[in-house]
Amino acid sequence: MARQSLQPSPEPADYPFTHRLRTRFAETDAMGIIHHAAYLPYLEEARVEYLRAIGHPYDSVRAGDAATGGDGDGGRDFAVLEVSVQYRRPLHFDEEVDVALLIGAVTGTTFQIAYLLSVGGTPRATAVTVHGCVDGRGRPTRLPAWVRDLGST
Amino acid sequence: MARQSLQPSPEPADYPFTHRLRTRFAETDAMGIIHHAAYLPYLEEARVEYLRAIGHPYDSVRAGDAATGGDGDGGRDFAVLEVSVQYRRPLHFDEEVDVALLIGAVTGTTFQIAYLLSVGGTPRATAVTVHGCVDGRGRPTRLPAWVRDLGST
Amino acid sequence: MARQSLQPSPEPADYPFTHRLRTRFAETDAMGIIHHAAYLPYLEEARVEYLRAIGHPYDSVRAGDAATGGDGDGGRDFAVLEVSVQYRRPLHFDEEVDVALLIGAVTGTTFQIAYLLSVGGTPRATAVTVHGCVDGRGRPTRLPAWVRDLGST
Amino acid sequence: MARQSLQPSPEPADYPFTHRLRTRFAETDAMGIIHHAAYLPYLEEARVEYLRAIGHPYDSVRAGDAATGGDGDGGRDFAVLEVSVQYRRPLHFDEEVDVALLIGAVTGTTFQIAYLLSVGGTPRATAVTVHGCVDGRGRPTRLPAWVRDLGST
């Protein structure tokens, strides 16, 4: 995967934001653990909570609300261009998972997010997603200024 | 992701096995495309069909049927240790997707699979999964001989 | 559930259309069976195949293609108003499921579908869905004529 | 559906327990709303939180912890025998949903739960699930005494 450049740290303290969620029984599989595909919605839920926390709720981004980052010219989606997950130890039903995340590698058109999933301080998985910005018709477009600014933090 | 070493080719002809599936409406999202998390079950479905095609149905592997690869000492699961997906162009509802796959990088305890998802010959995504072998209690164990043999092909 | 009136038969021979699908490992849960929520996409997949079989592919219905049933005035969705499932015996990983269906109780604005899920002729579940027609903005609208005609069959 | 007898009230005040959750983007579909199949995990998540609230966490029930209801003779699962959902108004991405529930119709071997899903006090859906008790091998068995006692409340 050529574009992906972030290396997720296994240390919770290295991440500026953490979202806690609880695994669902519907997400278990016949191995008695959380199915590996269920982790992607966990990452997404944490992204959505992060955007809310920094004042840019994702539904406003999608609606093109100028006040929250549409640059005044319509809605935006942060399409997922790449994802990778490294499963270290299984997650089980009813566990409370801390999904920590960090934005990095911001360019004019893409950004990356590194994730650490842990339970009670013990790492369970790390992940990276790479995102591009698309307009309401699904065409690639420049990132809103507030996203580009996250890169200089 | 340290372990992952395969580079999936964008050429369908480079893969020895292909499974065709059709996207479901339940797998779409509000962007009007197939949600990125839905690709992981597509990869899994193709793996399962590949194992069946080479005479090792996955439910027999899991049940520890000696004839199909349990080495006579109990059931096995091929746990997912890593996954990465590169989304090139979106999939849409009701499209027929060819999921081509190739096994490689087989060691005594892990193997990797490269995937190409295409529609009508046009690449939509590539992916890699890394697998380890676990016994019925979830403990890591050596790969069955028939899997190790796939590495010398 | 007031509107639902169909009583699904446990006899495969009572249904005019059957779609076969295979359960996925991702759809299992920690009880070692197919999770009950996974049945709803099975019903949906069978509906989509039925619409294709009678010459009205659902993506054309949604796109408002006049030739396939939009009555020439825009796209339609068959929103799910109600669903009920009666689970008789569990489904397991890798089973081939025959999803039989029958349309009934067609009115000017709603229709119902009865389903029988069976494996090797043995019933596993029955279900009923109730559908209404909505236009591209999600507003209730009359059913296309070809759907109303199904009610007189 | 013969067994189902509860009629879910559209009044939040009629329910003794409510669990709030937030819809996920992964649960939306191409109609721009939450896919109807996603409601079943919502009901399940609310059940799990209710069991925790009354002192019988579902993972302990499953593990057969005598202190939390296994009657001292092994783990139990509350298998879903029937489910029905009546969709009144759509749910959208990022909405906070109050899932209220009420246990009723408790017999020696089954119980039912009625649900009301609402957002900001406005009903969006009602539902009923019917459950039976199974032991670790999936065989039907009597309900734990504490569940039967819920019926006399």
- ipTM value of the model? 0.93
Residues belonging to chain A? 153
* Interchain proximity D82–C82, CB inside 8 Å: no
Residue B75 has pLDDT above 90, yes or no: no
Indicate the helix (H) or strand (E) that contains C76.
strand C76-87
- Stretch A2-27: mean pLDDT: 94
DSSP codes joined into one string, B3-65: S------S-GGG-SEEEEEE--GGGB-TTSSB-GGGHHHHHHHHHHHHHHHTT--HHHHHHT-
Question: Which of these, A16, A39, A35, lies nearest to A97 by C-alpha position?
Answer: A39
- Stretch D35-50: mean pLDDT: 98
Residue D69 has pLDDT above 60, yes or no: no
Residue C153 has pLDDT above 60, yes or no: no
- High-pLDDT (> 70) share of chain A, %: 92
With 0-12 CB in 10 A as exposed, 13-18 as middle and 19+ as buried, what is B145?
exposed
Residue A140 to residues A4, A64, B93, Cα–Cα distance (Å): 18, 15, 21
Contact D50/D17 with Cβ under 8 angstroms?
Answer: yes
Residue C21 has pLDDT above 50, yes or no: yes
**CA–CA distance, C28 with A28 (Å, rounded to integer):** 7
Closest-CA distance of chain D to residue A26, Å: 6
Q: Which chains, if any, share at least 3 CB pairs under 8 A with chain C? A: A, B, D
For residue D22, the tally of other CB atoms under 10 A from its CB is 14
Residue B152 has pLDDT above 80, yes or no: no
Torsion sign (Cα): D69, D74, D75, D77: negative
pTM: 0.95
Mean pLDDT score of chain C? 91
* Interchain proximity C84–D36, CB inside 8 Å: no
Residue D42 has pLDDT above 60, yes or no: yes
pLDDT tens digit string along B23-40? 999 999 999 999 999 999
* Interchain proximity B87–A81, CB inside 8 Å: yes
Mean pLDDT score of chain D? 91
Of all residues in chain B, the one with the smallest CA distance to D35 is B26
What's the confidence (pLDDT) of residue D71? Answer: 52
What's the confidence (pLDDT) of residue A1? Answer: 41
Residue B146 to residues A31, B149, D82, D129, Cα–Cα distance (Å): 22, 5, 43, 45
Question: Which of these, B27, B126, B31, B96, lies nearest to A83 by C-alpha position?
Answer: B126
CB-CB: which of A33, A82, A90 is closest to B86?
A82
What's the confidence (pLDDT) of residue A114? Answer: 98
Torsion sign (Cα): D51, D54, D57, D62: negative
**CA–CA distance, B123 with B134 (Å, rounded to integer):** 33
Provide, as residue numbers in chain A, all residues whose Cβ is less than 8 Å from the Cβ of B32: 138
pLDDT band at A68 (very low <50, low <70, confident <90, very high): low
Q: Can you list the pairs that C103-107 forms with residues at least 24 positions away whose Cβ atoms lie under 8 Å?
A: C103/C150, C103/C151, C103/C153, C104/C5, C104/C6, C104/C151, C105/C5, C105/C6, C105/C151, C106/C143, C106/C147, C106/C148, C106/C150, C106/C151, C106/C152, C107/C151
- Stretch D22-43: mean pLDDT: 97
Contact A123/A139 with Cβ under 8 angstroms?
Answer: no
- Partners of C17 in the β-ladder: C101
Judged by average pLDDT, the poorest of B111-120, D22-31, D140-149 is: D140-149
Residue C152 has pLDDT above 90, yes or no: no
Amino acid identity, position C127 = A
pLDDT band at D153 (very low <50, low <70, confident <90, very high): low
- Stretch A51-64: mean pLDDT: 92
Four-point Cα dihedral B28, B33, B39, B45, nearest 10: 60
Residue D19 backbone phi and psi in degrees, to 5: -120, 130
CB-CB: which of D31, D62, D134 is closest to C77?
D31
**CA–CA distance, B124 with B105 (Å, rounded to integer):** 24
For chain D, the residues whose C-beta falls within 8 A of a C-beta of chain B are: 25-26, 28-30, 32-33, 35, 37, 93
* Interchain proximity D83–C84, CB inside 8 Å: yes
- High-pLDDT (> 70) share of chain D, %: 92
C-alpha D107: how far from its chain's center?
17
Q: Coil, helix or strand for C72?
A: coil
Question: Which of these, D38, A22, C113, C57, lies nearest to B30 by C-alpha position?
Answer: D38
Residue D73 has pLDDT above 70, yes or no: no
pLDDT tens digit string along C57-97? 998 999 887 555 545 567 899 999 999 999 999 999 999 99
Question: Which of these, B147, B115, B112, lies nearest to B131 by C-alpha position?
Answer: B112
What's the confidence (pLDDT) of residue D11? Answer: 96
What's the confidence (pLDDT) of residue A152? Answer: 60
For residue A21, the tally of other CB atoms under 10 A from its CB is 18
Structure tokens at D125: 């859906």
CB-CB: which of B1, B40, B79 is closest to A37?
B40
Four-point Cα dihedral A70, A76, A81, A86, nearest 10: 80
What's the confidence (pLDDT) of residue B71? Answer: 52
DSSP codes joined into one string, A63-128: HT-GGGTSTTS--EEEEEEEEEEEE-S---TT-EEEEEEEEE---SSEEEEEEEEEETTEEEEEEE
Residue C41 backbone phi and psi in degrees, to 5: -60, -30
For residue B152, the tally of other CB atoms under 10 A from its CB is 6
* Interchain proximity C40–D40, CB inside 8 Å: yes
Structure tokens at D8: 């879910």
Mean pLDDT score of chain A? 91
What's the confidence (pLDDT) of residue D67? Answer: 54
What's the confidence (pLDDT) of residue B65? Answer: 72
* Interchain proximity C93–A25, CB inside 8 Å: no
Structure tokens at A96: 């409370």
Question: Which of these, B85, D84, D72, lies nearest to A3 by C-alpha position?
Answer: B85
What's the confidence (pLDDT) of residue D95? Answer: 98
Amino acid identity, position B132 = G
C23, C24, C28, C36: best mutation site toward chain A, by most A Cβ within 10 Å? C28
CB-CB: which of C25, C48, C92 is closest to B94?
C48
pLDDT band at B64 (very low <50, low <70, confident <90, very high): confident
- Stretch B42-50: mean pLDDT: 98
Structure tokens at B131: 């697998």
Closest-CA distance of chain B to residue C91, Å: 13
pLDDT band at D1 (very low <50, low <70, confident <90, very high): very low
DSSP codes joined into one string, D24-90: -GGGB-TTSSB-GGGHHHHHHHHHHHHHHHTT--HHHHHHT-GGGTSTTS--EEEEEEEEEEEE-S-
Residue D61 backbone phi and psi in degrees, to 5: -60, -45
* Interchain proximity A40–B40, CB inside 8 Å: yes
Closest-CA distance of chain C to residue A26, Å: 6
DSSP type of residue A13: G
DSSP codes joined into one string, B139-152: -EEPPPHHHHHHTT
- Stretch A132-140: mean pLDDT: 88
What's the confidence (pLDDT) of residue C1? Answer: 41
B62, B76, B80: best mutation site toward chain A, by most A Cβ within 10 Å? B80
Closest-CA distance of chain C to residue A74, Å: 19
**CA–CA distance, D105 with B90 (Å, rounded to integer):** 47
* Interchain proximity D94–A57, CB inside 8 Å: yes
